Amino acid sequence: MEKGQRKTTPLLLCSHIVVLHLLSLVAETSAKVSAVIVFGDSSVDAGNNNFIPTIARSNFQPYGRDFEGGKATGRFCNGRIPTDFISESFGLKPYVPAYLDPKYNISDFASGVTFASAATGYDNATSDVLSVIPLWKQLEYYKGYQKNLSAYLGESKAKDTIAEALHLMSLGTNDFLENYYTMPGRASQFTPQQYQNFLAAIAENFIRSLYGLGARKVSLGGLPPMGCLPLERTTSIAGGNDCVARYNNIALEFNNRLKNLTIKLNQELPGLKLVFSNPYYIMLSIIKRPQLYGFESTSVACCATGMFEMGYACSRGQMFSCTDASKYVFWDSFHPTEMTNSIVAKYVVLRVLYQFLQ
Let me know if residue 8 belongs to a domain: no
Q: What are phi and psi of 95, to 5 degrees?
A: -135, 135
The question of whether 299 is a catalytic residue gets the answer no
The question of whether 58 is a catalytic residue gets the answer no
Mean pLDDT of the chain: 92
Let me know if residue 230 belongs to a domain: yes
Let me know if residue 292 belongs to a domain: yes
Rounded to whole angstroms, how far apart are CA atoms 36 and 199?
Answer: 24
* Residue 6: pLDDT band with limits 50, 70, 90: very low
- Does the structure show a pLDDT above 80 at 106? yes
The question of whether 332 is a catalytic residue gets the answer yes
Q: Choosing from 42, 58, 170, 299, which is the catalytic residue?
A: 42
The domain total for the chain is: 1
Question: Could you report the per-residue pLDDT of 237-266, keeping only the tens digit for each?
Answer: 766 779 999 999 999 999 999 999 999 999
Domain that holds residue 247: 31-357
* Residue 26: pLDDT band with limits 50, 70, 90: low
- The CATH code of the domain that includes 99 is 3.40.50.1110
pTM attached to this predicted model: 0.92
Q: Choosing from 41, 66, 175, 332, which is the catalytic residue?
A: 332
pLDDT > 70 in the chain, percent: 91
Q: What are phi and psi of 113, to 5 degrees?
A: -160, 145
- Does the structure show a pLDDT above 80 at 46? yes
- Does the structure show a pLDDT above 50 at 284? yes
In terms of residues, how long is the chain?
358
**DSSP structure class, residue 77:** S
Let me know if residue 24 belongs to a domain: no
Query: What confidence score (pLDDT) does residue 24 get?
Result: 55
Query: What confidence score (pLDDT) does residue 2 get?
Result: 38
Let me know if residue 1 belongs to a domain: no
Question: Could you report the per-residue pLDDT of 117-126, keeping only the tens digit for each?
Answer: 999 999 999 9
Query: What confidence score (pLDDT) does residue 23 get?
Result: 53
- Does the structure show a pLDDT above 50 at 280? yes
Query: What confidence score (pLDDT) does residue 4 get?
Result: 39
Q: Choosing from 41, 58, 123, 335, which is the catalytic residue?
A: 335
Residue 188 burial class via C-beta count within 10 angstroms: exposed 0-12, middle 13-18, buried 19 and up? exposed
What average pLDDT score do residues 99-115 get?
A: 98
**DSSP structure class, residue 177:** I
